[in-house]
């Protein structure tokens, strides 16, 4: 088990879903939490819940698509704690579902700017001071989509795959600086992620919610796994059992993986 200087953690997108669950998990262990979120009301509710647990937290409004917001978040943490032990780049959005020729370039830019560059900005701003202090840990929330490359989700898959590649790079860059990296690749689980799908009619939202409901893991379960991964410096975190099989099968034989899961997808189509 690892020791940290002052047990302080920054979590983007901590107003709801996995970000909130992670904030509460670390708060129960006595950590001080910087709750960063674009939604002030939800972020302040998270802070209130941490306070009720007897923990310490503050809210900072943060749009991860803006470098100045990330910089302001870091400065606020420096003023309060004199440094940060753990950064969790959690904030993200869902993409529209559709073939690549139907998804607009604006949608691609939106997904890349938040799901990838939001993580890049966080790593860029926080990693330097961590290196100077000689300790720290970065948690990047990716997705099993970055490994499985599910059809009709090209922009989301590409952004999450890039987050995995970024995390692998940082793992080697920061190893000699006494810093750890964890990349989290969950499957779908119940959250409010569907709120960010910019498609009218609600059909895509309903499809995603249906898949979320099948998960045997909750946000609290995954948050607990993140907490454990940070303490033991675990790199690849695949919380869902089925995703661990997918990961190993694809590493063993990409062609076998595609054949197998193409058959599984075909069985789920109407009439099958």
The active-site residue out of 156, 227, 257, 261 is 156
Token reading at 41: 């009301």
Radius of gyration of the chain, Cα coordinates, nearest whole angstrom: 18
**Cα gap 213→232, rounded to integer Å:** 30
Residue in this structure with the two tokens 């099958």, named with its chain if needed = 272
Catalytic, 156? Answer: yes
Cα–Cα distances in angstroms (integers) from residue 251 to residues 160, 162, 254, in the given order: 17, 17, 6
Helix (H) or strand (E) holding 139: strand 136-141
Contacts of 5 (CB under 8 A, 6+ apart): 83, 85, 133, 135
- Beta carbons of 225 and 26 less than 8 angstroms apart: no
Q: Which residues are identified as catalytic?
A: 156
């Amino acid at each position: 088990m690892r020791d940290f200087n002052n047990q302080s953690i920054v979590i983007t997108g901590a107003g709801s879903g996995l970000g909130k669950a992670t904030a509460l998990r670390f708060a129960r262990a006595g950590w001080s939490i910087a709750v960063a979120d674009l939604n002030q009301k939800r972020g302040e509710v998270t802070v209130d819940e941490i306070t009720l647990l007897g923990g310490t937290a503050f809210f900072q409004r943060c749009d991860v698509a803006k470098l100045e917001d990330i910089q302001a978040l870091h400065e606020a943490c420096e003023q309060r704690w004199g440094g940060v032990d753990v950064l969790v780049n959690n904030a993200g959005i869902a993409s529209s579902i559709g073939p690549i020729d139907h998804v607009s370039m604006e949608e691609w830019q939106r997904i890349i700017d938040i799901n990838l560059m939001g993580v890049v900005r966080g790593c860029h701003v926080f990693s330097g001071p961590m290196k100077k202090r000689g300790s720290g840990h970065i948690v990047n929330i990716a997705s099993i989509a970055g490994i499985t490359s599910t059809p009709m989700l090209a922009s989301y898959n590409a952004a999450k795959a890039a987050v995995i590649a970024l995390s692998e790079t940082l793992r080697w860059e920061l190893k000699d600086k006494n810093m750890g990296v964890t990349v989290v690749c969950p499957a779908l689980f119940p959250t409010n992620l569907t709120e960010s799908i910019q498609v009218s009619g609600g059909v895509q939202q309903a499809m995603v919610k249906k898949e979320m409901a099948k998960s045997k893991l909750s946000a609290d379960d995954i948050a607990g796994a993140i907490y454990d991964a940070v303490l033991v410096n675990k790199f690849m975190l695949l919380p869902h059992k089925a995703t661990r099989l997918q990961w190993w099968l694809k590493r063993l034989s990409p062609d076998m993986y595609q054949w197998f899961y193409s058959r599984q997808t075909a069985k789920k189509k109407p009439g099958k």
